[in-house]
């Protein structure tokens, strides 16, 4: 299968701070590839470099066969990009925003009208065409932003935290739209810190402190989790704090519950602990622990 993205040693520093550290990865054409990690781990910086918006400090990257530094214009002509911050104009209507972005992409009037109709239909916003964009609910504004990014039919779509600020229902609908686009042949690269959203991706890059710490399908990453995962939902707060101190990175909160990774036995002799199947969050926590141990 063709490669849509390849990076080798991709690095970005801001002064003494390394935001992205020697990133090596490939994205296959036609897949949904996710960058999963906490805020500040380097996901957005990576996307900006791949879009040709930010030059790398070291290393190299190619997108759709074009070098992101030497051929950034060719890259930007062939990709769609949706940033974390809402980028459309609140005082324009839905169709006026799409018409404006069609002009930016250099589409003629006839093509802009045809594509605008198609994208409004795809995003499900046709009935809202005359509404001011600023009056739309957050989830619908995100869908409109995706429609604008797809107007010129890019082969590759970069989505940076696309569902940030959207409610649960809007996020589910948005991801259904992403999967439809991928099924039609569009390569999608998306950043997220939501574990449930990451499960929709074909493959994932787990990032921590600017580094790639694991990669693979969500199912493979979960299957690679070692040891036993224990959970206790009703541990007193004092015991929770003690266990978090005692077990360090092997213990963490998941919602109202406390989870601990052990080699086999329960973390304490007290009642209330039960074995649970590992999740993607468990895989992520364990990958971070391995990374920390490796650099000691």
CA angle 150, 154, 155 (to 5 degrees): 135
Give per-residue pLDDT as tens, 83-138: 876 678 999 999 999 999 999 888 999 999 999 999 999 888 899 999 999 999 88
Q: Tell me the mean pLDDT in the region 279-284.
A: 94
* Block residue for tokens 């849509």: 4
pLDDT at site 291: 84
Tell me: pLDDT of 262 over 60. Answer: yes
What average pLDDT does range 172-195 have in this prediction?
Answer: 91
Q: Among the ranges 53-67, 221-235, 282-296, which has the highest mean pLDDT value?
A: 53-67
Residues with Cβ < 8 Å from 274, sequence gap 6 or more? Answer: 230, 231, 232
Q: How confident is the model at residue 255 (pLDDT cuts 50, 70, 90)?
A: confident
Question: Considering Cα of 257, then 263, then 269, then 271, what sign does the dihedral take?
Answer: positive
Closest CA to 153 of 122, 190, 124: 122
- Residue 1 pLDDT exceeds 60: no
Residue that wins the pLDDT comparison between 83 and 224: 224
Percent of the chain at pLDDT above 90?
62
pLDDT(235) > 80: no
Candidates 292, 288, 282, 290; CA nearest to 218 is: 282
For the chain, the average pLDDT equals: 90
Domain spans in the chain, listed from the N-terminal domain onward: 3-218, 226-277
Query: Between 3.40.50.300, 3.30.70.20, 3.40.50.970, 3.30.70.3270, what CATH number should domain 3-218 receive?
Result: 3.40.50.300
Structure confidence by residue, pLDDT tens digits, 144-158: 988 999 999 999 999
pTM for the predicted model, two decimal places: 0.89
Label residue 10 by pLDDT band (50, 70, 90).
very high
End-to-end Cα distance, the chain: 38
Hey, how many other C-beta atoms are within 10 angstroms of the C-beta on 292? Answer: 14
> Which segment of 126-130, 159-163, 164-168 scores lowest on mean pLDDT?
164-168
Tokens of 40: 């500040």
């Amino acid at each position: 299968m063709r490669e849509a993205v390849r990076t080798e040693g991709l690095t970005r520093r801001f002064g003494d701070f390394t935001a992205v550290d020697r990133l090596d990865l490939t994205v296959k054409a036609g897949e949904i590839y996710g960058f999963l990690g906490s805020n500040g781990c380097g996901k957005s910086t990576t996307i900006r470099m791949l879009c040709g918006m930010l030059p790398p400090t070291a290393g190299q990257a190619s997108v759709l066969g074009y070098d992101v530094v030497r051929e950034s214009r060719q890259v930007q002509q062939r990709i769609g990009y949706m940033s974390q911050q809402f980028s459309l104009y609140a005082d324009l209507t839905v169709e006026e925003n799409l018409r404006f972005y069609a002009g930016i992409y250099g589409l003629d009037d006839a093509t802009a009208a045809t594509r605008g109709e198609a994208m409004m239909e795809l995003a499900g916003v046709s009935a809202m065409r005359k509404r001011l964009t600023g009056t739309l609910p957050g989830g619908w504004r995100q869908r409109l932003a995706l429609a604008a990014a797809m107007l010129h039919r890019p082969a590759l779509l970069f989505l940076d935290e696309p569902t940030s600020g959207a409610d649960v229902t809007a996020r589910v609908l948005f991801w259904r739209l992403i999967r439809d686009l991928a099924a039609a042949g569009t390569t999608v690269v998306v950043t997220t810190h939501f574990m449930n959203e990451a499960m929709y991706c074909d493959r994932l890059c787990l990032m921590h402190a600017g580094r790639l710490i694991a990669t693979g399908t969500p199912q493979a990453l979960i299957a690679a989790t070692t040891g036993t995962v224990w959970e206790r939902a009703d541990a007193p707060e004092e015991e929770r704090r003690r266990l978090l101190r005692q077990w360090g990175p092997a213990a963490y909160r998941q919602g109202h519950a406390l989870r601990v990774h052990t080699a086999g036995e329960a973390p304490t002799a007290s009642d209330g602990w039960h074995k649970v199947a590992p999740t993607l969050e468990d895989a992520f926590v364990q990958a971070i622990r391995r990374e920390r141990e490796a650099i000691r």
